Amino acid sequence: MTTSENTTTAIVHEYINEEYEYIQYNKQLRLIRSVKDDMYQMQSILTACFAPENKTPNEWFELNSTHELLSEFEHVELKKMYQDRQNLPSHLKGIYVHKFLVSSIAMWAWPRYAIYILMLLDELCTKQREDMMKEDKSIQKRIPRSVPKGKEKSYKYMIYTEELEKEEDKDMVMLHLVRRNNKSFYDLAKIYKSDRNWFY
């Protein structure tokens, strides 16, 4: 297979079970990922990079560069960098590595295909970041409507109007929606005493 065949750039997630999935980036690049801790099966990385048969997971761990790399990770106090999981079905068992090690393994396996591993990780990171931003926006939207459970009757919503200053808007008013605890309505005393509000 040549690199020109790697044309598909959208990541496809294929369910294996609740804890594992395939991540497909192009026709050849198909990695096994542990969903719960974002670790990758080392053998699937080697297979995706067309590593020669003599390049095995154990051989990579014997490299001096690997020892230096793992030693440095110990200094920055990251979580476990790899784990040998032999109590899994045959197609899933093997050594799983931290995502920070994936690019190093791919470069050692075959640099020609390592670029696609890097592109996959970058695309996956971008997607995760976008999902986090969407979730954050969703939470921010819910916050104004959220109150402690059991305290629903301790809160009120008030709608009040505000005159618009611009001449072209003189026939319009601005509506404001405010949520307050009953005890903190004094913050809105001036509005509360006016005739420009409604309570719900």
Q: What is the pLDDT of residues 14-70, one digit of tens each?
A: 999 999 999 988 777 889 999 999 999 999 999 998 899 889 999 999 999 999 999
Residues 80 and 107 in one domain: yes
* Range scoring the smallest mean pLDDT among 74-78, 103-107, 162-166: 74-78
Instruction: Decide: 42 and 51 in contact? Cβ < 8 Å.
Output: no
pTM, 2 dp: 0.61
Q: pLDDT tens across 90-111, in order? A: 999 999 999 999 999 999 998 8
Considering the domain architecture, whether residues 173 and 139 belong to the same structural domain is answered as no
Query: Residue 3 pLDDT more than 50?
Result: no
pLDDT of residue 2: 45
Structural domain of 60: 3-143
Question: What is the pLDDT, as a whole number, of residue 1?
Answer: 44
Q: 7 and 68 in one domain?
A: yes
Q: Could you tell me the CATH number of the domain that includes residue 90?
A: 3.10.260
Q: What share of the chain is helix, strand, coil (3-state, %, to 5)?
A: 45, 25, 30
**Residues 22 and 83 grouped into a single domain:** yes
- 196 vs 160: CA distance, rounded Å: 6
Number of domains in the chain: 2
- 85 Cβ partners below 8 Å, 6+ apart? 92, 93, 94, 95, 96
Q: Judge if 8 and 29 occupy the same domain.
A: yes
Are both 57 and 130 inside the same structural domain? yes
Cα distance between residue 117 and residue 92, in whole Å: 19
CA max distance for the chain = 84
Q: Are residues 20 and 90 in the same domain?
A: yes
Same-domain status, 95 and 139: yes
pLDDT at 85 over 60: yes
